[in-house]
Amino acid sequence: MSTSPKNLYHRRLVAEPAAKSCWICYKPSSTVLITPDQDDYFYICPGHLKDGKFAIAKDAEDLAEKKRKEDLDKEIESVKKEYEEKMKKKIDKKQKESGEKDKAESSSAEKEADEAEREKEKKLKELEGKKEPEKPKVDGPRIFELQKNFWQMRLQKKRDAEVARRNQQRLRQPGLFPSVPSNENFPGFSAYHTAAGKGSHAVSSL
């Protein structure tokens, strides 16, 4: 039992020399939309993929997740930079204030530095915990659903192709058309043909 086709197409790129006519405007394009099971594909200009009347991007969630990850990375870098600057200022201040002070104060400064470092590590660990496993980088949407009219056109094209394929198979089948009758199939045909020939010969000789 065949499953019903799904209205989902993955975007692929081919080399520029392999570009073919866009399904919509017939201009050369190296962008291809193909179904996951590869039973249908067509070339399309990238501009049409931005037209909501043609197709809808279905991997918007992936793009949103990518943006969230980028924002997290920026926040992590910001936290690192903030703590590094804070520690630098604190150490500089302690050095100026302490001067020739005893080791007890120096030890206190080191303790504060350790606490600040632990606080930074804790904050970074919290941010890292929000991250998810790496996903393939996406350069714009890569999964699309065609709008109803265009999807119906693709289905009709597939149906027409299937009908043509079956017709070709029938034409190649032996016994599709009746064969020319032979003398073996019709024993009286040869005798009749001979008698008819003699009769016509007798008429012509008169």
Answer yes or no: is pLDDT of 129 > 90.
Answer: no
pLDDT at site 30 = 95
**66, pLDDT greater than 60:** yes
pLDDT higher for 199 or 20?
20
DSSP-derived pairing of the beta strands 28-29 and 143-146: unpaired
Collapsing DSSP to helix, strand or coil, 177 comes out as coil
Per-residue pLDDT reduced to its tens digit, 7-58: 999 999 999 999 999 999 999 999 999 999 999 999 999 999 999 999 999 8
What is residue 28's predicted lDDT score, i.e. its pLDDT?
97
Mean pLDDT of 165-192: 69
Better-scored residue on pLDDT, 184 or 155: 155
59: tokens are: 């991997």
Strands 28-29 and 41-43: unpaired
Tokens for 107?
A: 């030890």
Q: Mean pLDDT score of the chain, rounded to an integer?
A: 77
3-class DSSP state of 54: coil
For the chain, percent of residues with pLDDT exceeding 70: 65
In the 8-state DSSP scheme, what is residue 19?
Answer: -
Residues above pLDDT 90, as percent of the chain: 36
State residue 120's pLDDT score.
74
Residue 125 CA to residue 120 CA, distance in Å, equals 9
Q: How crowded is the C-beta side of 64, counted as CA atoms within 13 Å?
A: 5
Give the pLDDT of residue 136. 41
Q: What is the pTM of this model?
A: 0.49
At 70-105, the pLDDT tens digits run 788 888 888 888 887 877 777 777 667 666 555 555
Alpha helices, DSSP H, located in 99-186: 103-129, 148-172
Q: Above 50 in pLDDT, residue 203? A: no
Question: Cβ–Cβ contacts within 10 Å for residue 45, how many?
Answer: 19
* Higher per-residue pLDDT: 55 or 179: 55
Of residues 14 and 138, more confidence is placed in: 14
- Indicate the pLDDT class of residue 178, thresholds 50, 70 and 90: low
User: 175 or 192: which carries more pLDDT confidence?
Assistant: 175
Q: What is the pLDDT of residue 60?
A: 66
| Strand bridging mode 28-29 / 20-21 | antiparallel
